[in-house]
């Protein structure tokens, strides 16, 4: 399964104003016709995309209005996610919206759907492989009560549509994405700046696989190349694991700030993942988490370095 050649292609990227998708859209627009689908409520993000040559097309995944997107696109990368915390709206936008999107693009060469490792059933420090039990991982967070269940439903839609339309598909379960535009570690940095306690699970340490935006971009061609029918399902994260406690401690070393942790059972548990399949399909990541987080601090708070 060789990576696809992305040059001179028409690529649809949904959720293109988001933290994860925007850098991908901007980078791919250098050598491709990139069409961004989103609600475009963030005018500044739309401006950045259009300045880079990205064609912006408003879409509504709740109603299924994706008609403005080019049906003859070569590749589709779906980063869109609805997190209104309203069950009907989020199910319609995430699961139903994906059905409309895959139907509209059923003739694409490949379809990449970005899922999340937040769909795994909490099991302490178990290392999750792709076939392990799914569950309401985010149910402990009232402000994200719909997230895990909607993501599981959306994966079911992707599996069905890949078969129904014979559309080669990859479902990539993304771990903690971060980079210059933010991410969970960036939120923790802001919490350290304002003196807030950082929740960590009582079953310490809280371990994940943070993945830098550079590696996300680098792996898109390989994940598209791995698409199949039935859909390929793969964990997607940084090859190095790190805990919240570790990366906050390192952010403290870089900035002179001291993290304050608040152990609780009312936060998500560790989600360590088995990356064997990812390494077989697309190889390891190249940005170590310490390097990536140092770059994140330099981009977002350069005044803190050397303090």
Domain ranges of the chain: 10-182+209-240+272-286
Alpha helices in the chain (DSSP H): 21-28, 43-51, 87-91, 97-104, 147-164, 184-194, 213-225, 244-255, 276-282, 289-300
With 0-12 CB in 10 A as exposed, 13-18 as middle and 19+ as buried, what is 135? middle
> Which pLDDT score is estimated for 90?
95
Whole-number Å distance between alpha carbons of 58 and 40: 7
Whole-number Å distance between alpha carbons of 276 and 234: 9
Average pLDDT over residues 40-60: 94
CA angle centred on 217, ends 211 and 218, rounded to 5°: 90
Whole-number Å distance between alpha carbons of 306 and 9: 44
Read off the pLDDT of residues 219-270 as tens digits, 9 standing for 90 and up: 999 999 999 999 999 999 999 999 999 999 999 999 999 999 999 999 999 9
Whole-number Å distance between alpha carbons of 10 and 102: 16
**In this structure, what DSSP letter does residue 117 have?**
G
> Which pLDDT score is estimated for 168?
98
If one counts every other C-beta atom within 10 angstroms of the C-beta of residue 210, the result is 29
Q: C-alpha distances in angstroms, 257 versus 51, 194, 306?
A: 37, 10, 11
Whole-number Å distance between alpha carbons of 243 and 216: 20
Task: Using the predicted structure, report yes or no on whether residue 307 has a pLDDT greater than 80.
Answer: no
Max CA pair span of the chain: 57
Average pLDDT over residues 21-48: 94
Length of the chain counted residue by residue: 307
Q: What percent of the chain has pLDDT over 70?
A: 100
Task: Using the predicted structure, report yes or no on whether residue 184 has a pLDDT greater than 60.
Answer: yes
Average pLDDT over residues 33-44: 92
> Which pLDDT score is estimated for 301?
96
Q: What b-and-e string marks burial along 266-293, b requiring 16 or more CB atoms within 10 Å of the CB?
A: ebbbbbbbebebbeebbeebebebbebb
How does the average pLDDT of the chain come out, rounded? 96
> Which pLDDT score is estimated for 306?
72
> Which pLDDT score is estimated for 268?
94
Contact 179, 120 (CB under 8 A): no
The first and second tokens of residue 79, run together, are: 């980063």
Task: Using the predicted structure, report yes or no on whether residue 41 has a pLDDT greater than 90.
Answer: no
Contact 262, 197 (CB under 8 A): yes
Q: Domain 10-182+209-240+272-286: give its CATH superfamily.
A: NAD(P)-binding Rossmann-like Domain (3.40.50.720)
> Which pLDDT score is estimated for 42?
84
Read off the pLDDT of residues 100-146 as tens digits, 9 standing for 90 and up: 999 999 999 999 999 999 999 999 999 999 999 999 999 899 899 99
> Which pLDDT score is estimated for 1?
73
């Amino acid at each position: 399964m060789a990576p696809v050649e992305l040059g001179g292609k028409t690529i649809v990227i949904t959720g293109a104003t988001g933290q994860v998708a925007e850098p991908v859209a901007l980078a791919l627009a250098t050598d491709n016709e990139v069409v961004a689908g989103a609600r475009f409520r963030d005018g500044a993000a739309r401006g950045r995309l259009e300045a880079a040559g990205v064609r912006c097309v408003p879409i509504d995944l709740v109603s299924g209005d994706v008609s403005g997107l080019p049906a003859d696109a070569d590749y589709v990368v779906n980063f869109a996610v609805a997190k209104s915390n309203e069950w009907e709206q989020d199910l319609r936008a995430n699961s139903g919206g994906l059905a409309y999107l895959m139907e509209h693009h059923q003739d694409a060469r490949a379809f990449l759907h970005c899922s999340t490792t937040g769909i795994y059933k909490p099991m302490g420090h178990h290392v999750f492989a792709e076939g392990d039990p799914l569950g309401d991982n985010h149910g402990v967070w009232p402000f994200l009560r719909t997230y895990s269940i909607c993501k599981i439903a959306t994966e079911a839609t992707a599996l069905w549509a890949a078969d129904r339309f014979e559309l080669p598909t990859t479902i990539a379960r993304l771990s903690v994405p971060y980079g210059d535009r933010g991410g969970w570690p960036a939120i923790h940095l802001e919490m350290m700046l304002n003196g807030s306690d950082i929740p960590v699970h009582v079953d310490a340490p809280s371990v994940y696989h943070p993945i830098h935006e550079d590696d996300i971009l680098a792996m898109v061609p390989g994940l598209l190349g791995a698409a199949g029918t039935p859909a390929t399902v793969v964990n997607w994260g940084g090859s190095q694991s790190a805990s919240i406690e570790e990366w906050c401690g390192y952010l403290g070393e870089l900035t002179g700030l001291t993290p304050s942790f608040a152990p609780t059972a009312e936060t998500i548990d560790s989600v360590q993942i088995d990356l064997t399949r990812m390494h077989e399909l697309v190889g390891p990541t190249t940005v170590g988490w310490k390097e990536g987080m140092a770059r994140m601090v330099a981009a977002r708070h350069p005044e803190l370095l050397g303090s």
